[in-house]
Amino acid sequence: MVPGTDPSRVLVFFHGGGYCSGSIRSHRRMATEAGRGAGVRTLAVGYRLAPEHPFPAARDDALTAWHWLRKQGIDAAHIAVGGDSAGANLSVALINQLRADSEELPACAWLVSPWTDLTMSGSTMTTKDAVDPLMHKGYLQELANAYVPAGMESNDPRISVLYADLHGLPPALIQVGSEEALLDDASRFATAAGAADVPVTLEIWPHMIHAWHLWNAHLDAGRRALASAAAFIRRHL
């Protein structure tokens, strides 16, 4: 544990990877640096991946992690949840399920480059295709096809949180790069959350690509984005 860390406060982090890849190892530095900056412990969650484990496996694993942490005596008001890309979508899906189950909610949500719409209807899927080196509509469609089970629609609010009822969600910080195909996913979600009276902060970082925080060891903008997220988490915990 880093000196100065408050053991009673925790960041629960869900890695990205389109529900098909990524791990607690690939995102270790991003998660730990956020927790270090916020002065809290970090619980990075490894959840089951598609195509072997489509929805609802990841959401169920997120719920299991949440309930395990609560059983350790950690107050919901002392927990922040967050993640990047699919992990950001999963963070909101977890909160929505907790709300549906009439459980206490986390204090805040940190959403990096969130993939909130698995129907791929965002305008920047097209307008940013030539400048985004990582995320492209065809690739994201393959990931969505692997995650969405037969018989469910991609716009189901349990899968695409953009279409969920967002009333009652805790304060959210959304960070997205201006060069991302998922820019519209982030901005539309911020608009929907704000319209539902959720305290939401949207940061659009110029010239940044998808989940640029991952390169924080060598990228100043990655370190600054993590510092902003850490300050947000500290304020709400």
Catalytic residues: 85, 180, 210
Separation of alpha carbons 49 and 40, rounded Å: 27
Measured in whole angstroms, the distance separating CA 138 from the mean position of its chain's CA atoms is 21
**For residue 216, what are the contacts with CB-CB under 8 A and spacing of at least 6?**
29, 30, 33, 222, 223, 225, 226
